[in-house]
Amino acid sequence: MANPADLLYTKDHEWAKIDGDIATVGITDYAQHSLGDIVYVELPRVGQSVAEHASIGVVESVKAVSELFNPVTGEVVEVNPILETDPSAVNRDAFGDGWMYKVKLPNGTPSGLLSAEEYEKLIAE
């Protein structure tokens, strides 16, 4: 699946969609494919302050536990309730229904994230 051009990416295979001062965060299709069947997602709590690059949750596939790294600094304002009962939504639609949480950004668009083009170069390596 193509990496949407309107999202920003990290080298840890997360994506962020910036809409005003809210960033919606998830893992990339490349990441879900590498992990395989996702059976559990542990997300930060609403109200929690999260720092860029911090490990703030886990994504577990049938075979492995992977850390979830947060791409943007801010406060968590919403988590995707679907993932509690249906974590496979991440496999089906990593950039859509499988979104993980939303962060309120204190200072507008964060810097240091990759464009879709840069991210594609990274995963092609």
Partner 1 sequence: MLRRTVLYDEHVAHGARIVPFGGFEMPVQYTSVLREHDAVRQRAGLFDLSHMAQYELRGEGVAEWADALTINEVGTMKPLQARYNIFTNEAGGAHDDVLFYRLPDRWLLVVNAGNAEKMWPYLQAQAAGRTDVALTSHHGSRALIAVQGPRAVEIVAPLCDIDVASMKYYFCAEGHVDAAPAVIARTGYTGEDGFELFVEGEDAPRLWRRLLEQGKQASLEPAGLGARDILRLEAGMPLYGHELEEDISPLAGGQGWAIKFRKPDFVGKAALVAERDADEYDRIAGVALAGRAPARAGYAVFANGERVGEVKSASIAPSLANTNIATVYVKKHAALPGTKLGIDIRGTLHDATVVSLPFYRRNDARKDT
CA 32 from chain center: how many Å?
10
- 62 is written with which tokens? 């049938």
Question: At its nearest, how many Å lie between partner 1 and the CB of residue 56?
Answer: 12
Question: At its nearest, how many Å lie between partner 1 and the CB of residue 33?
Answer: 10
Query: Quick one: which of 50, 45, 21, 14 has its CA closest to 110?
Result: 21
Tell me the per-residue interface mask from 65 to 104 with partner 1, x by CB under 8 A, - otherwise: x------------------x---x--x-------------
Find where tokens 């990290």 sit.
10
Tell me the per-residue interface mask from 39 to 68 with partner 1, x by CB under 8 A, - otherwise: xx-x---------------x-x-xx-x---
- 42 is written with which tokens? 């542990």
